[in-house]
Amino acid sequence: MLRFLIFGSGAVGTLLGGLLAKAGHSVVFVGRKWNVEAIRSRGIRISGVWGSHSIPPQPAFEKIEDIPNDLRLFDFIFLTVKAFDTLRAIEECLPVLQDVTQVISCQNGYGNCQAIAEKIGWNRTLGARIITGVEIPEPGIIQVTVHADAVRLGHYLREYPMSQLQGIALTLREAGIPTEATDQLEQFIWVKILYNAALNPLGALLGVTYGALSEEASTRTIMDRIIREAFAVTAAHGIRLFWETAEEYLQTFYTKMIPPTAAHYPSMLRDLQKGRMTEINALNGAVTQLGREKQIPTPVNDTLVSLIHFREIHSREQRKSG
């Protein structure tokens, strides 16, 4: 039995923690009151493409300091918060970090592992690329709506033992979480960044599905420019990708990546509709930041970041007013 802390018990965190708990591991959840109360009192129910599962009530709290002393030893901490909360989350976890504890970033966007490693060191920082659609229609209820690829578990340090990664991946697979160890974590993370940067903000601003964006020449032109800017800045920084050129990526993007998710609306659209902050800074914002560092212009990504920030402010004001 391993000991897990799920910090950020929303849809993804509740899914991962629920399956680990069902497999017999010790799991403690930390998250927002509305969901942790349900986990603590009624348990977790999971349905969808990963099967149906019913997990009894689990220890769940709103804050780290609420966790009893006898539950404060953890082998792994899964960070499943939004990218803009990464620094706060790892700082809050410091009191329960032991010498053996490793932190696994299960988050979207660029810079999460880097922010964690700055606080606890690279030797204790892992990352997981998750490309599975998960919804939480009501507290404690999880629906897995789409699964595009296995969770890719890896490390930014090439010398990190693959045998150790494979052992963790096996534990997750045995719990029903499709997981593969990789020594190409950076590449897998950027697969998702590129995909989300092209589709999420544009779909959120226009209120349309991924498929609709790919069907129109006007929006395809914008997405092409987003990707070309991203390839320019990643090349300048020596960031490893699976594709040599933007054109090679775009061919895969339109023919293989979009079709399976053509009917989906972007998660960023839901964030804006609910008056929440988005992860734009860790997606297109990362492209613009990396561009500034190398004096590479990124006008299309710059524009999308500004437009999404405007919508964030406007959406919050609308919800406050009624």
pLDDT in tens, 125-141: 999 999 888 999 999 99
Residue 75 has a pLDDT of 97
Closest CA to 26 of 43, 6, 50: 6
197, 308: one domain: yes
191, 179: one domain: no
91, 35: one domain: yes
Is 238 exposed, middle or buried (CB count within 10 Å of its CB: 0-12, 13-18, 19+)? exposed
Query: What count of other Cβ atoms lies within 10 Å of the Cβ of residue 137?
Result: 9
225, 307: one domain: yes
Residue 133 has a pLDDT of 85
162, 245: one domain: no
42, 137: one domain: yes
- Domain end point (choices 150, 183, 216): 183
Which range, of 149-163, 218-232, 282-296, averages the lowest pLDDT?
A: 149-163
- Domain end point (choices 157, 183, 209): 183
Q: State the average pLDDT over residues 2-21.
A: 97
Domain count, the chain: 2
Residue 317 has a pLDDT of 79
Residue 137 has a pLDDT of 94
70, 139: one domain: yes
CA distance 50 to 141: 14
Q: State the average pLDDT over residues 213-236.
A: 98
- Domain end point (choices 153, 168, 183): 183
145, 210: one domain: no
Q: What is the pLDDT of residues 72-129, one digit of tens each?
A: 999 999 999 999 999 999 999 999 999 999 999 999 999 999 999 999 999 999 999 9
| Domain, as residue range, for 127 | 3-183
Q: What is the pLDDT of residues 23-40, one digit of tens each?
A: 999 999 999 999 999 999
Q: What is the pLDDT of residues 187-200, one digit of tens each?
A: 999 999 999 999 99
Residue 320 has a pLDDT of 73
172, 274: one domain: no
Residue 322 has a pLDDT of 60
152, 295: one domain: no
98, 205: one domain: no
Q: State the average pLDDT over residues 286-292.
A: 98
Contact status, residue 62 vs residue 33, Cβ threshold 8 Å: yes
Those residues with Cβ within 8 angstroms of residue 61's Cβ, 6 or more apart along the chain or in another chain: 28, 29, 30, 36, 40, 67
34, 80: one domain: yes
> Domain holding 266: CATH number?
1.10.1040.10
Q: What is the pLDDT of residues 155-183, one digit of tens each?
A: 988 778 899 999 999 999 999 999 999 99
Under DSSP, is residue 65 helix (H, G, I), strand (E, B) or coil? Answer: helix
Annotated catalytic residues are 192
> Domain holding 82: CATH number?
3.40.50.720
Closest CA to 315 of 267, 270, 281: 270
Those residues with Cβ within 8 angstroms of residue 39's Cβ, 6 or more apart along the chain or in another chain: 9, 14, 29, 57, 58, 60, 139, 140
Q: State the average pLDDT over residues 220-247.
A: 97
pTM of the full predicted structure?
Answer: 0.92
